[in-house]
Structure 1
Amino acid sequence: MKERPLIGISASLMIDNDPKFIGRRLISLSEKYINAIFCSKGIPFILPISNDIDSIKKYANLLDGLILTGGHDINPLLYCEEPSLNLGNVVTERDYFDLELVNEFEALNKPILGICRGSQVLNVAHGGDLYQDITNLKNNIIKHYQSPPEYEGSHTVDIKEDTILHEILGDSVLVNSYHHQAVKKLGEGFKVAATSRDGIIEAIENTNYKFEIGVQWHPEMMIYSSNHMKHLFNYFINKCQS
């Protein structure tokens, strides 16, 4: 029987607004990422933000795969753009941490699944850029920031036939949606794996590596309500085992 793979999950950084601890820095991660990994027979490890390159190298050596999670907007200076009026909050130290995680896991050809912001991190890591706010686009943009509940899909994405994602999910799938940014210019090595009906890129993949897929939706929120999302996590975990 194969060992259950060890999966690193990138954490976010929040600032405490509790009056007793104003300004305290908190390492933050939704429990849903943890549950999705346990549900798929992996063992999750939370990766706190660090600028210690040696620690990041050790993460990559120790772990079998990486999930890049959602969170704050990416600092646009990292893809050579000035911040737009509707840019959200950024945490640049997390940006550098996530980008270095990508470098180290890629160097060892270990599987990476990027979720929402994590998909955008993958693209920026390879020289791509982003729409800083898709509501500024003019081409009949559909609603990409849904109302609760988060485990229900709110719009359809169409999946390209010649992709690994198509092998996992089929022709189309209903997804949830919680983003105002999206991939614009593709990073080197990436191709579009899925789009929404308004043309927004919803998934990317890079076949130069064992497994490197980014999805714009949040499959971890749908792990108990969607067999498609279970298939996605199971496929990722299997790649981490092989």
Structure 2
Amino acid sequence: MYKGRPIIALMPLYDEKKDSYWMLPGYMKALEEQGAIPLMPPLNADRTQLDFFLEECDGFVLTGGHDISPRLYSQEPSARCGLTLPLRDDMDAYVLKGAVQRDKAVLGICRGHQLMNAVYGGTLYQDIPAECPSEVDHRMQPPYDGCAHMVRLEAESPLARLLESEELAVNSCHHQAIRELAAPFR
């Protein structure tokens, strides 16, 4: 906390073409609107630096981005697996485990919740259309603010209580998804 405001780390996105880290402004603005101080660590696996963020930050947002490497859940990449970023997998996995050990808040968005599942023993579909076909198009086109499909929230979960609903409309722009849910999750 800094002057009563929580410090929330947003895991960085990476652009290979520009060799740059970046962040969606909406994530930072949403945190600021809630009184938090958003912070984006650099992309690296330096445990000393990551431990600093784990000690100083009150919570972490594991953002979207590259595909999760199937090697993280003991599988070989299929021909349809997208571009992965092993450094980001390593960084996010270390931060996730460290945050949980320190009893700090973690929110996984898209890639983030997929990584959480893989780190704790679950698996992923490497390509939704090929491995789990459905009527839902999980590759929305911009501006990504529409409803792709509905999700059911676990009754009495913190999110269901916060939203006062057990159903939620969501967008969808990914091609990986949870296949086998890790034991700690519902």
Please say whether Structure 1 and Structure 2 have the same fold, judged by a TM-score greater than 0.5: yes
TM-score, length-scaled by structure 2? 0.92
Query: In the alignment, does 2:42 pair up with 1:48?
Result: yes
Query: In the alignment, does 2:185 pair up with 1:184?
Result: no
Which amino acid is 2:176 matched to?
A: Q
Q: Percent identity?
A: 33
Which amino acid is 2:169 matched to?
A: L
Q: Is the 8 A contact 2:81 2:126 kept in 1?
A: yes
> Which of 164, 167, 174 matches 1:172?
167
Q: Where in structure 2 are there 5+ consecutive unaligned residues? A: none
Which amino acid is 1:137 matched to?
A: E
Q: Secondary structure at the match of 1:57?
A: helix
Alpha-carbon distance change, 30 to 138 in structure 1, aligned in 2, over 3 angstroms: closer
TM-score, length-scaled by structure 1? 0.71
Query: In the alignment, does 2:115 pair up with 1:121?
Result: yes
> How far apart, CA to CA, are the structure 1 residues paired with 2:150 and 2:132?
20
Which amino acid is 1:104 matched to?
A: G
| Partner of residue 96, structure 2 | 102
* Alpha-carbon shift at residue 41 of structure 1 (Å): 1.4
| Partner of residue 10, structure 1 | 11
| Paired positions, count | 183
Q: Is the 8 A contact 1:145 1:177 kept in 2?
A: yes
Q: Is the 8 A contact 1:135 1:141 kept in 2?
A: no
> How far apart, CA to CA, are the structure 2 residues paired with 1:79 and 1:141?
27
Which is richer in strand?
Answer: 1
Query: In the alignment, does 2:27 pair up with 1:33?
Result: yes
* Alpha-carbon shift at residue 42 of structure 1 (Å): 0.7
Structure-to-structure mapping, 1:1-242, within 5 angstroms: 3-16=4-17, 25-137=19-131, 140-169=134-163, 170-191=165-186
Q: Is the 8 A contact 2:60 2:106 kept in 1?
A: yes
> How far apart, CA to CA, are the structure 1 residues paired with 2:17 and 2:141?
25
> How far apart, CA to CA, are the structure 1 residues paired with 2:4 and 2:127?
42
> How far apart, CA to CA, are the structure 1 residues paired with 2:110 and 2:67?
10
Which amino acid is 1:184 matched to?
A: R
* Alpha-carbon shift at residue 98 of structure 1 (Å): 0.4
* Alpha-carbon shift at residue 58 of structure 1 (Å): 1.1
Q: Where in structure 1 are there 5+ consecutive unaligned residues? A: 18-24, 192-242
RMSD of aligned Cα (Å): 1.6
